Amino acid sequence: MSALDLVALLLATQAPESFPGRTALSTPRAELGAIASQILSVQDTEARVLLRLEDDWAVALIRRDAAVFRRLLADGFIYTENDRTVGRDDVLHDIVAGPDTVETAHNEAMQVHRFGTTAVVTGWLVVSGYGPSGPFDRRYRFTDTWVRGGGRWQIVAAHDYLVPTRQR
């Protein structure tokens, strides 16, 4: 349900006496504005939660923190990077025991796109470290899909595109 749908539902369920001196059809704009502000405030809070979870992901890469990823990744999670698709268990293994050591990781230019209990977060993940071939600096364009259930957000799908070095 969108914020506007929720505002309409709230207004439709208000009895005329809820607005002294007004009928349901002549609801003052101030009342509508106050309700919309409350809804947007909740949405802003949810967006902040999602951005924090994305940052938790970046920090967990550095720490090889499997517990964070087990909490964030939903059962059935699917990860796609360029032409490779893997599931939750493979992602957990790569993070904990993979050949790359991430020394720094951070997100840039993230945007949250809400669709009720589903959200898509887009942005850039910038990672540096070293692996079997030596040091690396990588920049990924990402799209992560989150679903809220059981009182928490979990990521159900992620797609990363590694920007080739020559395009940076």
Structural contact between residues 118 and 112, judged by C-beta atoms closer than 8 angstroms: no
Q: Chain-wide mean pLDDT for the chain?
A: 82
For the chain, percent of residues with pLDDT exceeding 90: 70
List CB contacts of 80: < 8 A, sequence separation 6 or more. 157, 158, 159, 160
Among 27-31, 54-58, 137-141, the least confident range: 27-31
Task: Report, as an integer, the average pLDDT of 23-36.
Answer: 48
Q: Does the structure show a pLDDT above 50 at 39?
A: no
List CB contacts of 127: < 8 A, sequence separation 6 or more. 58, 61, 102, 104, 105, 136, 137, 138, 139, 140
Our CA angle for 111, 119, 40, nearest 5°, is 75
| β partners of residue 50 | none
For the chain, percent of residues with pLDDT exceeding 70: 73
Our CA angle for 113, 143, 134, nearest 5°, is 145
Structural contact between residues 83 and 111, judged by C-beta atoms closer than 8 angstroms: no
Task: Report, as an integer, the average pLDDT of 13-33.
Answer: 44
Task: Report, as an integer, the average pLDDT of 50-72.
Answer: 97
